[in-house]
Amino acid sequence: MTMFKALSTLDASQTWAAVLGFIVLLFMGRKAWVDYKIRRAGGVRSSVLATNPITGFRFFARAGYMQARDQLDEFYDELYNWATPECPNCVEIAFIGGVRFLMTREPEHVKTVLTSKFTDYGKGPKFHETWSPFLGDSIFTTDGQLWSDSRALIRPMFIKERVRDIEIFDKWTKTLISKLPASGQTVDIMDLFYRMTLDVTTDFLLGHSVDSLNNPKHEFVDAFQEVQRIQMMLTILAPFRHIIPKYRYNRGIRVLERFIEPFIQRTLALQPSELEDLSKSSSDFTFLHSLARRTRDAKVIRDQLMAVLLAGRDTTAATLSWTIYELSHYPRVYHKLRNEILSVVGPSRAPTYEDLKSLTYLTHTLNEALRLYPAVPYNLRAALKDTSLPGIKGQPDITVLEGDIVTYSALSMQRRPDLYPATGEMVGKGEKGQRQPFEDPSVFSPERWDYWTPKAWNYVPFNGGPRICVGQNFAMTEMAFTLVRLLQKYDRLEYRGDWHAQFHKAEIVGAPGHGVPVAFFEAQEGDVA
* Binding-site positions for heme: 469
Residue 440 DSSP code: P
What is the CB-side half-sphere exposure of residue 82 using CA atoms within 13 A? 17
Rg (CA), the chain: 25
Query: Could you give the 3-state DSSP secondary structure of residue 73?
Result: helix
User: What gap in Å lies between CA 389 and CA 260, rounded to an integer?
Assistant: 41
How many of the other CB atoms lie within 10 Å of CB of 306? 23
Instruction: Assess contact for 83 and 91: CB atoms under 8 A.
Output: yes
How many of the other CB atoms lie within 10 Å of CB of 354? 9
User: What gap in Å lies between CA 112 and CA 406, rounded to an integer?
Assistant: 11
List of residues 6+ apart from 32 with CB closer than 8 A = none
Query: Could you give the 3-state DSSP secondary structure of residue 401?
Result: coil
Q: b or e along 54-68 (b: 16 or more beta carbons within 10 Å of the residue's beta carbon)?
A: eebeebbeebbebbe
Q: b or e along 185-224 (b: 16 or more beta carbons within 10 Å of the residue's beta carbon)?
A: eebbbbbbbbbbbbbbbbbbbbbebbbbbeeeebebbebb
- Residue ranges of the annotated binding site are 469
Instruction: Assess contact for 110 and 104: CB atoms under 8 A.
Output: yes
